[in-house]
Amino acid sequence: MLQNTLSTNFVPGTNLTGGLARASWRFLLPSLELDNVLCLGVPAAATLNVLATISAAITMASTNAGQLETAHGELEPQVKAKVRTAHITDFCQLPLADKSVSLVFFAGKKELAGMLRDASLPAALDRLLKDDGAIYLEIKNLSDRRATRLMIRKLASCGFNTPRKFWLTPLRGELRTAFPLDDDRMAKYLFTNVLFGQSLKMRALSSAGVWLSQARLLRSVTPRRAILLQRSPRHDNLQPPPEYLVSIAEKSGVDLSGLQCGLSARGKFNANKNIFYLFDRDGKKAKAVIKMTRAPEFNSRLENEYHVLFTLQEKGFVDPATFPEPLFFGDHAKLALLGQKAVHGEPFRSRTKATVDCPIAHDAINWIVKLGTASSNQSAATAAQVGEALMKLFKRFAEIYPLAKFEADFLAAQIAAISDFSGKFPLVFQHGDPGTWNMLVSASGRVIVIDWEAGEPEGMPLWDLFYFMRTYGSWVSRVQGSKDPLENFTRNFLEPSALHALLAETTRRYCAGAGLAADLIAPLFYTCWMHRSLKEATRLPKDSLQKGVFFNLLRRCIEQRNSPALNSLFSLNGEIKSEKQVNFVQSKSEKIPADV
C-alpha cells in the first residue's frame, strides 16, 4: 500500500532548485546527447551549466575577450572543465576540426545581426558541423529577422533546406512555450488549453491569443522566434517531433511520423515536466502528448504514472474517456518519456461556475466517489498494517515540522485509532493529486482527470475527496475575492457552510460505497493534511516550513477539533445512503457523454 508515497524521500527544499528549468529550447533539438557544442557569442552561465549536462565539450567563441573571461569565471567548477573560450576576430578561423560540432548555438544578443550578416559564416558552419548537426538561434527584432533570412538562404546551398520556425513565449527570459510559427490551429489550442492562468490578466491574454490565432494575425505580433536548422532533403513546411521522440515511440510500435510538434516547458523547477503536443497535419486537436522529465531524479514519477494508467485502463474502475490512455514509456539521455493519447477539454477553472451547485464540480466529485467505490479492496491490508504505514509518514513529518507536543500526541492518537480498528480497512485506487488544475472539462461537460504521477493502486480512501474539495473551495473563494488559503478553508469546511454540507453528504456516499466505517473518517481527515504537508515541504526552504499552507491548515484543524462542523463530518450525522442509492447518484453522472 502507498508504495509510491512511502518510497518518496520528503526532503525540505528539494523541489526549489530550478537550474535545469533553463535553456528549454534544447528539447527541440534532434538529440540531447551531443559531442561538441559551439556557442557563437557568450551565453548566460546558467545556460552553459545546462548545456554541459548534454554535451561532452563546449567551445565559447566571441570577439569580446572581457565577456568570455567573465562568463568562464562564473561557471560551476565541474562545468569549467568542459568549457573552453576562443577569442576570435574572424569566423573562418574557429579553432575546431572539420565535422566535429553537433550543435551551433547563436548566443550573442547585440552582435547577433552582425554575425548573421558575416558572409564567411555559412561556409564555416558547413565545414564544422557534422552531417546530423544542428543550428539553433533566437531572434527578437526586425533587424535580426532580415539577417536570419539572408543566412538561411546561404545555408540552403549547404543542405539546410527546411528551417523549423517557432514562435516563443514569453517575450523575454527563459523559453516556456515553442509552437510552429505558421500553424494558427496549434496556437489557438495553446491559448485555450495550456496558457490559461489563475489571474484575470493571464486569462485576458489567453483570450487575446485565441482571437489573434483565429484572425491569422499572431505571426505579426509575436516578435520572439526560434530557428532550428538541420541538413534535410525535405522541402515541406512540416514541423516534426524531435528525432529522439520519434525513435523511442517507434520502439513501442507508435508511429509519430507526419505529425506537427509544439513544446510547453512551463514551470520554474526541475520537477516540472516538459510536454510535447503532437498534431495531425490538418487536425485541430492534439493527437498525442509526450511528457518528459528535466532531471533524472524525477524519472520515477513518470514511470509510476505509466504503470498507474496502464493498471487503471486494465481494471476499468472508471470510464476510460475520463483519463489519458498510455501509449509508451522510454528514456533518452537519462530522462524519462511518457507518451499518452491526447485528451481534449478546457481547464476546469475556465468552465466551472465556482458555486456549490456547479454541475462540473459535482461530476468531479461523483468521479472520485466512483473510483473509490469501484476499486475498494477490503482484503489488501489490515487496519494494523495501514496504521504502520501511516506511522512511517508521521515519523518523517515530526522530523521536519515544529510540532507542539499536544499536536504530535493528537496525530499519533489518530493513527493509533486506525491501527486498533477491529473492522476491515478498504484500500482504494488513488489519484494522489486531484486538484482542479489536474482536471479538464470536455465539450459535453464531462471531467477528465490528468497527471497521475502521484497515483497509488493501493491508496488511502477519502484522501482524494478531501483534497479535491479543498482545492475547489479555494477556487470558489478566490473567485469571490478572498485569497487567504487558511481563512478560506476555515470558512468553507471548519464552519457550517454550503461547501461543508456538500463534503459531508459526499463523505457519506463515499463511505457507503467503499465500505468505510465512520470511525475512520477523522483519522483519515487529519492524516490527509499531514501527507499534503510532507509533499509541500519539498517546495519550502527549511526556514519557511512553519509557514507552510498545509502545515498551518492541519494545525487549524487540530485546534478546532471539537467544532460542530468537524463533529458533524466525522459522525456522519443524518441518514447514510444505501449502496443502491449511491449507485443511482453515480449512474446519473455516467450518462453524460464523454468527448475525448
Provide DSSP, 224-288.
Answer: -EEEEEE-BS--S---PPPHHHHHHHHHTT---TT-EEEEE---SSTTSPEEEEEE-SS-SSEEE
pLDDT (0 to 100) of residue 553: 98
199: confidence class by pLDDT, cuts 50, 70, 90: low
Q: What is the pTM of this model?
A: 0.89
What's the whole-number mean pLDDT along residues 564-593?
Answer: 53
What's the whole-number mean pLDDT along residues 198-213?
Answer: 71
Greatest mean pLDDT among 207-216, 479-488, 585-594 lies in 479-488
Greatest mean pLDDT among 100-114, 133-147, 266-280, 497-511 lies in 497-511
pLDDT (0 to 100) of residue 574: 40
Average pLDDT score over the chain:
89
Other Cβ atoms less than 10 A from the Cβ of 435: the count is: 16
Whole-angstrom distance, CA of residue 46 vs CA of residue 254:
35
pLDDT-wise least confident of 207-216, 319-328, 493-502: 207-216
What's the whole-number mean pLDDT along residues 370-374?
Answer: 98
- Is it the case that residue 591 has pLDDT exceeding 50? no
Cα 145 to Cα 137, 141, 151, 290, distances in angstroms: 11, 6, 10, 31
- Is it the case that residue 118 has pLDDT exceeding 90? no
Range of the domain at 94: 19-237
Query: Does any domain span residue 186?
Result: yes
201: confidence class by pLDDT, cuts 50, 70, 90: low
592: confidence class by pLDDT, cuts 50, 70, 90: very low
Query: Does any domain span residue 68?
Result: yes
Whole-angstrom distance, CA of residue 413 vs CA of residue 433:
26
- Is it the case that residue 76 has pLDDT exceeding 70? yes
Q: At a CB cut-off of 8 Å and minimum separation 6, what does 232 contact?
A: 159, 160, 161, 162
- Is it the case that residue 544 has pLDDT exceeding 60? yes
Q: Which of 555, 288, 507, 225 is nearest to 397 (CA)?
A: 555
- The CATH code of the domain that includes 130 is 3.40.50.150
Classify residue 560 by its DSSP letter: T
- Summarize pLDDT for 172-183 with one digit per residue, the tens: 889 999 999 888
β-bridge partners, 330: 337
> By percentage, how much of the chain surpasses pLDDT 90?
69
209: confidence class by pLDDT, cuts 50, 70, 90: confident
Angle at 299 between CA 296 and CA 300, to 5 degrees: 135
What's the whole-number mean pLDDT along residues 375-400?
Answer: 97
587: confidence class by pLDDT, cuts 50, 70, 90: very low
Q: Which amino acid type is present at position 148? A: T
What's the whole-number mean pLDDT along residues 100-109?
Answer: 90
Contact (CB, 8 A) for 466 and 507? no
Q: Which of 36, 41, 83 is nearest to 63 (CA)?
A: 41
Which residues in 151-162 are b (16+ Cβ under 10 Å) and which e? bbebbeeeebbb
- Is it the case that residue 284 has pLDDT exceeding 70? yes
Whole-angstrom distance, CA of residue 6 vs CA of residue 9:
8
pLDDT-wise least confident of 160-174, 495-509, 511-525, 567-581: 567-581
What nine digits make up the cell of 321? 474517456
519 φ, ψ to 5°?
A: -65, -20
Specify the number of domains making up the chain. Answer: 1
Query: Does any domain span residue 228?
Result: yes
Query: Does any domain span residue 95?
Result: yes
Q: Which of 411, 415, 407, 409 is nearest to 388 (CA)?
A: 415
7 φ, ψ to 5°?
A: -85, -5
- Is it the case that residue 162 has pLDDT exceeding 70? yes
Query: Does any domain span residue 135?
Result: yes
Residue 547: burial class (beta carbons within 10 Å; 0-12, 13-18, 19+)? exposed
Query: Does any domain span residue 426?
Result: no
Instruction: Specify the higher pLDDT residue, 398 or 596.
Output: 398
510: confidence class by pLDDT, cuts 50, 70, 90: very high
pLDDT (0 to 100) of residue 120: 85
Q: Which amino acid type is present at position 72? A: H
pLDDT (0 to 100) of residue 595: 31
Query: Does any domain span residue 252?
Result: no
222: confidence class by pLDDT, cuts 50, 70, 90: confident
What's the whole-number mean pLDDT along residues 253-280?
Answer: 93
- Is it the case that residue 370 has pLDDT exceeding 80? yes
Greatest mean pLDDT among 16-30, 38-52, 455-469 lies in 455-469
234: confidence class by pLDDT, cuts 50, 70, 90: low
pLDDT (0 to 100) of residue 579: 40
- Is it the case that residue 581 has pLDDT exceeding 50? no
Residue count of the chain, please give it: 596
Whole-angstrom distance, CA of residue 44 vs CA of residue 438:
34
Query: Does any domain span residue 279?
Result: no
508 φ, ψ to 5°?
A: -60, -45
196: confidence class by pLDDT, cuts 50, 70, 90: low
